[in-house]
Structures are given as C-alpha cells and as structure tokens.
Amino acid sequence: MAKFIRYEKKGDILYASVYNPVRVDGNKINYVEYLGKVIDQVNGIFKSKDRGVFKFSLEDGYSYDGIECYSNEKEKFILDFGDIFIFFNRFKDSKLYNIFKNIIYNRSDTLFSLIFYKIFQSESNSYAKIWWEGSYARKLFPNASLNSQRISEFLIELGDESNQREFFNEYLKLFSDNDKKCGLIDSTGLPNTIDIPLTALSNHMGNIEVEMRLIYIVDKKTKRPLFFRYIAGNIIDVTTLETTMLEMKELNLDIEFLLLDAGYFSEDNIKKMYDKGMDFITRMPTNRKVYKELIKKYREKIEKIENLVNFNGRLIYIIKEQIELYGKVVYAYICVDVQRKNEEMYKLLTNSLEGDKDCDKIEEETITKGTFVIVSPLNIETKEILSMYYSRQEIERIFEICKSLINILPLRCHSEATLRGCLMLAFLASLTYIELNEYLKGSKVNMTYAINMLRNLKCKVYENSTIILEPTKQMKDIAELFKLEFPTSL
C-alpha cells in the first residue's frame, strides 16, 4: 500500500495530509501526517503553523527551495542556531563528512539530523522531529524525514548489512597507513527487555543482567572506534575473539597488536594470536593456576623499593619474569598495587575477626591481595607496561559516550533489523562526537557546556534571508575554539 496525499476542503480553504496505510497483524492502519493549508496544489506548496511555508512531495519530502514568492509573512520563525551551525560546519571539514553523506543515497538529511539530535538531546528518537522543528537544522537538512514510522524505516535501511559493509570499507581506508596498528577490544552489556534471540541472561563478572553485548574495536593511536559487532547476552567474551579477528581480516583491518582484558584470556586465544603472528598484552585472570603459582613464587621478591613505580598517582611494585605459557615463552609482569593491597587487606582482616578463624586460608588469601599479572610476548620496560595496558581504558570512554552522552540506552527496538540501525547510528554519532571534541582539548570548555551555551544563540528566518542574533562573548569564545566565526546573516 503506497502512501498518498489527501486533500480536504473546509469552507474556502483547502487542507492536505499525508496518509501512509500499513497492515499490522492483518489490520489496516493509516499513519497520518498533517501538511496544513494548500498554497499551490500543482507545485506542492503548503503552509502550517509549525513549518511556515514549505514545499512537499512524496518523492522528495520537505524542502524550502523556491518558495519565497509564495510567502506573505515577513518573519517565519525563530530557531536555535549556534549549536548546529558551529558543530555541523566544523564537521563538514572532516574526512568523515563525505563518507557519512554517502552511506544511504539521498537520505543524508535524515542521517545528519539524527546524529546531531543524538549529540545535542540524547532522547528517544520519537522526539527528534520536535527538536528539528525548533532548530536551524530544519534549514540545513530540509529533506529530513523524522516521523516515528519514517525513522524506523530509516534505521532498518541504515542497519542493512550491505550498507554497513560499504561504509566500513570506505571508513577503514582512513586508517590504512603503514604503522603497526594496535587494537583495543572489549565488550559492554546493553540491558534490555527486547523480545529477540539476542536478549539473554548474562553473568558478567558476577553481575546478572538481561542484556545483549556490544563489542567495539578501537584504534590505540587515534583513539577512534574502528568497528563494532554485537552478540547475545549469554555469550562470554572469551569465545568471541576468534570471530572478531576473522571479521577484522575480511574488512582488511590489519591489526598486528591487541590489548585485551582478562575476559579474553584463555589457552585457545593465546595460541590463536601466536599462530596469526599477532602480539598482545592481556591481564591474567586470578582464578588460573599459573597466576597463583606466579604470585606465590615471586610475592616476596616484588615489594622492594627498586621495583616501585608511580603510575598516575598510584604506587605499584612491579617485576618482569620470563615464563612458559601454554608452550610459548612470554613475559609476565607481576604487580602489587600498594593502595589496593591495603584496602583489600583491611577488609579481609576485619572480616576474619568474625566467626571461626581458618588461619591457613586467611594467610593464603593475603598473598594475592592487591596483585595482578600482565602477560605479553613483548619485552617491555616495567615502567612502560602499565601505561600501555591501561590505554585500553580508552575503550571504556567510548562506551561511556555511547551510553551516557549518545544515550543508546534504553534500547527501544522491536526487531534485530531496527537494532542494527540503532547501533550503527550510535557508532556514527560517537565518531562525530569524538571528532568535534578534539577542538576542545586543552581548553576549560567541555562538550556539554559548549552545546548548551551555543544553543542559546537564535536566528530569525525571513523570506529571503536568515538573521543571526548577537552572540555573547562566551559564544564567540567557543566558536573560536572551533576556528569559526558567526555570520550576521545567511
């Protein structure tokens, strides 16, 4: 059933609405979008309270091109201006802009509207149209289609496998230099109650959730996310590494060095990385026999002043020992965090005063308090290994951007097809956020402050021009950080 425009005359005035008939559970439902008063039926010119005078067709959507001669109003609307003007114009100069623009042919207005809506508002997609109508985004992206039904259709298209492959083929060319690439791999849970097979009961480090899991691969050098994939919530990290590496290979993502959390540590994964000639740094889980043997053997040797390093304000004893691990020679970096050891010892000894004391067990537990072991085939200076391993926290920052700033949660998808689009949109929005945030590095301004301050700069849209109201000093200072100036009119 194709959508159509229905005209209805009330008195001497002709009004129009767009009808989009669909079938849900066998029942016909009409989604209706009000266009308003018909100014010129032949040329598709309409007027509404929210949009003013505009052009519309079923093929091309909304537009404000060539409508000046139809307007009998001097002032049409006052819109939020500063945020979208600065951020979009700055983003247009990035290498990402054309790649994003070509993801879905002729749908870039909808894509950019949703990306900046996520960055600025981070609310449900159902409110995107309200934001767009009150923002200069409606002039920058006049063909955006932001009704709830249209957004759902767009997300399905955005999540299509062929569209995603085409995007990643182009996007990953930005990282095709000759440097040895180091990839950070980690996963995060996305709690949800969506009734799809991906939603499952998860036990991740003792935390029980009904969720799916999102895996990101991040480039250590540029701190940009490279690729993402998702898995069911009941699949554990350690079983996902091989598939992730296979997908990287198919995408020609040539990573030679992996930084991994303890959740990916296993004999099988260690051997696979060796077989592929891939270097790695990973933390050894505390429940492994080899971990306990290492701690017991070297515990007394570690805590000496010559082994003490200061890592970002944390005092850590660390020694390096060459060991055999699953038939391969690696280096074990055995560490004792002074503050963490004291905190854990205090808790252990306090609890030991209650009830019956098993002195041997308590004594055995004290040996491992505050300790951790990092392993790698690389012979790295002890003072460097910590900064290299903890650079993997960069991936946590990107997860935080997705969850808190882009607000990927709660997931509001009712099919895997829509879910793929939601995750892709979050990936693109996080890339945009990271790209723009670079201009604020070293300043006292953060993104949240910049967005909210710039939003207060308004513009007035007239028949033939847009007049920008006077920016404050704070607004000018932020624009200067982005190497832009505000025009007085457009």
Rounded distance between C-alpha atoms, residue 377 and residue 279, angstroms: 7
- Listed by start position, the domains of the chain span 4-73, 80-261+392-490, 283-382
Task: Determine the Cα–Cα distance for residues 22 and 99; give it in Å rounded to an integer.
Answer: 33
Q: Give CA separation, 304 vs 76, 313, 319, 338, in Å.
A: 74, 18, 10, 12
Q: Would the CA dihedral through 312, 318, 321, 323 be positive or negative? A: negative
For 214, the 3-state DSSP assignment is strand
pLDDT in tens, the chain (490 residues): 678 899 988 877 889 998 888 766 667 777 788 898 898 888 899 888 767 788 888 888 888 777 766 654 444 578 999 999 999 999 999 999 999 998 987 899 999 999 999 999 877 888 898 899 899 999 999 989 888 888 889 999 999 999 999 999 999 988 877 566 788 999 888 887 777 777 777 766 667 777 889 999 999 888 899 999 998 888 888 999 999 999 988 988 888 889 998 889 999 999 999 888 889 999 999 888 888 888 888 888 888 899 999 988 889 999 999 999 888 899 999 999 999 988 888 888 887 777 666 777 777 777 788 899 999 999 998 888 998 888 888 888 888 888 877 777 767 667 888 889 999 999 999 999 999 999 999 999 999 999 999 999 999 988 778 899 999 999 999 999 999 999 999 8
Q: How much is the pTM? A: 0.79
- Of 447, 386, 436, 423, the residue nearest 216 (C-alpha): 423
Q: Residue 253's pLDDT is what?
A: 85
Question: How high is the pLDDT of residue 182?
Answer: 84
User: Is 429 buried (19+), middle (13-18) or exposed (0-12) by CB count in 10 A?
Assistant: buried
Residue 238 CB burial class (10 angstroms; 0-12, 13-18, ≥19): middle
Label residue 69 exposed, middle or buried (CB < 10 Å: 0-12, 13-18, 19+).
exposed
**E strand residue ranges, 93-206:** 182-191, 200-204
| Structure tokens given for 395 | 């991936």
The Cβ of residue 433 has, within 10 Å, a number of other Cβ atoms equal to 20
Q: What's the token pair of residue 341?
A: 């050891």
